[in-house]
Amino acid sequence: MNQALLLVDIQNDFLPGGALAVPGGDAVVPVANALMPAFDYVVASQDWHPPEHLSFASQHDGLEPFQTTELDGLTQILWPPHCIQHRPGASFASGLDVAGINHVVRKGTDPRIDSYSAFYDNGHRKSTGLADDLRALGIDSLVVMGLAADVCVAFSVNDALAEGFSVTLVTDGIRGVDMAVGDTRAAIDQMTGAGATLTDCGTLIARE
């Protein structure tokens, strides 16, 4: 077993109707369900914020969601409160076949620093341990999909590549926030420029 599937943040708050909905985010759920049986090992990351997380605009008087500020020395986009621990919005999408997930990585638990990547917080101050866990299993290649393409997926892919994993991005298994028009396209171009390859769900299933 040298390849694993990484599902990034397929959670209720990132789906239509959620607190930080990604347009078309629900479309990635059937793709994930179709792909999971093709892998011996499936990891899912899960945003898991305390209610007072300082990435939330509600924690900053006079600031609104999607404005920026500085947080512990890092530029921080302020978000609506989302994926709060033990609340429905933080749960995996109701349609996601969670029985197919072998390991869950929770991130964003430190109220003072945001954590987009499944591997590290945004300042690379603490590791989630995922890279070591994968290496211990002999995994050196990741197939990545999920939400959002231009935020948590991109950060996860870049950290995976930096850790020496080969990465394949599932193009029909991602959707982006696109806070600025073209952000998702730019993120995909950046990931491929850094070494990720592109495929789609049908191609992956056909190889089995």
Give the N- to C-terminal CA distance of the chain in Å, as an integer: 14
pLDDT for res 75: 95
Chain center to CA of 152: 4
Q: pLDDT confidence of 207, banded at 50, 70, 90?
A: confident
Which stretch of DSSP H or E encloses residue 43? Answer: strand 42-47
- Per-residue pLDDT reduced to its tens digit, 156-196: 999 999 999 999 999 999 999 998 999 999 999 999 999 99
The stretch 137-145 carries a mean pLDDT of: 97
Q: pLDDT confidence of 208, banded at 50, 70, 90?
A: low
Q: Which contacts qualify for 199-208: CB closer than 8 Å, 24 or more apart? A: 199/143, 199/168, 199/169, 199/170, 199/171, 200/170, 200/171, 200/172, 200/173, 201/31, 201/34, 201/35, 201/170, 201/172, 201/173, 204/35, 204/38, 204/143, 204/170, 205/34, 205/35, 205/38, 207/38, 208/38
pLDDT for res 136: 97
Residues carrying an active site annotation: 9, 107, 152
pTM tops 0.95: yes
Handedness of CA 88, 34, 185, 119 (dihedral sign): positive
- Per-residue pLDDT reduced to its tens digit, 45-103: 999 999 999 999 999 999 999 999 999 899 999 999 999 999 999 999 999 999 999 99
Residue 1 has pLDDT above 90, yes or no: no
CATH architecture of 3-48+84-206: 3-Layer(aba) Sandwich (3.40)
Residue boundaries of the structural domains of the chain: 3-48+84-206
- Per-residue pLDDT reduced to its tens digit, 105-119: 999 999 999 999 999
